[in-house]
C-alpha cells in the first residue's frame, strides 16, 4: 500500500478520519453477492465501474451515468441504489447484490423466470436494474398492489415494454413465491376479453 494512503483496517465508530489521495489506488474489501472480493481501484471510481471493469460482473448495465435511467441499480444494504452514483470506497464492507446474485444456486429467482416467461424483457437493457428494484420490493412487500409495483419501479426507465408486462411479471413472481403452481392470469396471456 503506498505510503500516502492512510487507511485503517476495521470499520466502526472508533475509526478516525480515513483519507485517500487522488492518485493512488485504494485497496478495498467488497461483499458482492455473498462473496468477499478484494479490489484495488482509484478513489474516484464508481461502484458501476468496479463491478463491470474490475469484477467483470457485466450484468449491471451502464446507462446514462447521471442517475436518470436506473439501469445500473444494485442492492446496497438491501436497498436499491444506483451504482453509477456510488463511490466504491463508500461501499466497503456493505452487502452488495447485483443481478448475478439474484439466483439461488442453479435456480433463477422467481422474478427472472416470470420475466422470461411473460416477455417482460425485450431488449433487456433495463432488466437487471428492474429485477433488483423488484426483488427489494418483494422482500419488503410479498403481495404488492399494482400501484406499489408502479411506484417501486418508477426509477427504472424501459423503452420497449410499455411497463405492463413488467408489472404482470412482478405480480406473477409474487404469487409464485407463495404458490409455486401459480399461473399467469388469463388477461396476461390472451389480453382482456371484450
Residue 3 sits in the site that holds another protein (CB under 8 A):
no
Task: Residue 168: count other Cβ atoms within 10 Å of its Cβ.
Answer: 23
Pick the closer one to another protein by CB: 62 or 176. Answer: 62
Q: How far apart, in whole angstroms, are the C-alpha atoms of residue 173 and residue 102?
A: 13
Q: How far apart, in whole angstroms, are the C-alpha atoms of residue 39 and residue 26?
A: 8
Q: Which stretch binds another protein (CB under 8 A): 62-70, 98-106, 115-123, 167-175?
A: 62-70
Q: How far apart, in whole angstroms, are the C-alpha atoms of residue 91 and residue 12?
A: 14
Residues 104-163 that bind another protein (CB under 8 A): 133, 151-152, 154-156
- Three cell numbers, residue 186: 388469463
Q: Which stretch binds another protein (CB under 8 A): 42-50, 100-108, 167-175, 182-190?
A: 42-50
Pick the closer one to another protein by CB: 87 or 113. Answer: 87
- Three cell numbers, residue 91: 461501499
Task: Residue 160: count other Cβ atoms within 10 Å of its Cβ.
Answer: 16
Spatial CA neighbour of 51 closest among 71, 30, 20: 30
Q: Which stretch binds another protein (CB under 8 A): 10-18, 102-110, 165-173, 186-194?
A: 10-18
**Extended beta strands in 120-180, E state:** none
From 1, 18, 123, 164, residue interacting with another protein (rule: CB under 8 A): 18
Pairing of strands 26-32, 95-97: parallel
DSSP assignment, residue 82?
Answer: E
- Binding mask 64-93 toward another protein (x if CB under 8 A, else -) reads -xxxx-x--x-----xxxx--xxx-xx---
Q: How far is the CB of 8 from another protein (least distance, A)?
A: 10
Residues that bind another protein (CB under 8 A): 13, 15-23, 42-46, 49, 62, 65-68, 70, 73, 79-82, 85-87, 89-90, 133, 151-152, 154-156
Amino acid at each position: 500500500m503506498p505510503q500516502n494512503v492512510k487507511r485503517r483496517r476495521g470499520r466502526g465508530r472508533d475509526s478516525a478520519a480515513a483519507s485517500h489521495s487522488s492518485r493512488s489506488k485504494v485497496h478495498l474489501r467488497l461483499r458482492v453477492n455473498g462473496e468477499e472480493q478484494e479490489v484495488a481501484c482509484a478513489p474516484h471510481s464508481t461502484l458501476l465501474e468496479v463491478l463491470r471493469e474490475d469484477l467483470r460482473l457485466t450484468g449491471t448495465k451502464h446507462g446514462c451515468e447521471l442517475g436518470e435511467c436506473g439501469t445500473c441499480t444494485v442492492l446496497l444494504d438491501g436497498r436499491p441504489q444506483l451504482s453509477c452514483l456510488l463511490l466504491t470506497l463508500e461501499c466497503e464492507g456493505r452487502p452488495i447484490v447485483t443481478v448475478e446474485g439474484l439466483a439461488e444456486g442453479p435456480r433463477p429467482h422467481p422474478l427472472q423466470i416470470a420475466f422470461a416467461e411473460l416477455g417482460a424483457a425485450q431488449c433487456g437493457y433495463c432488466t437487471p436494474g428492474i429485477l433488483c428494484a423488484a426483488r427489494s420490493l418483494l422482500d419488503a412487500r410479498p403481495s404488492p398492489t399494482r400501484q406499489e409495483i408502479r411506484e417501486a419501479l418508477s426509477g427504472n426507465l424501459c423503452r420497449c415494454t410499455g411497463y405492463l408486462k413488467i408489472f404482470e411479471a412482478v405480480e406473477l413472481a409474487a404469487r409464485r413465491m407463495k404458490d409455486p403452481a401459480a399461473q399467469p392470469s388469463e388477461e396476461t396471456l390472451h389480453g382482456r376479453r371484450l
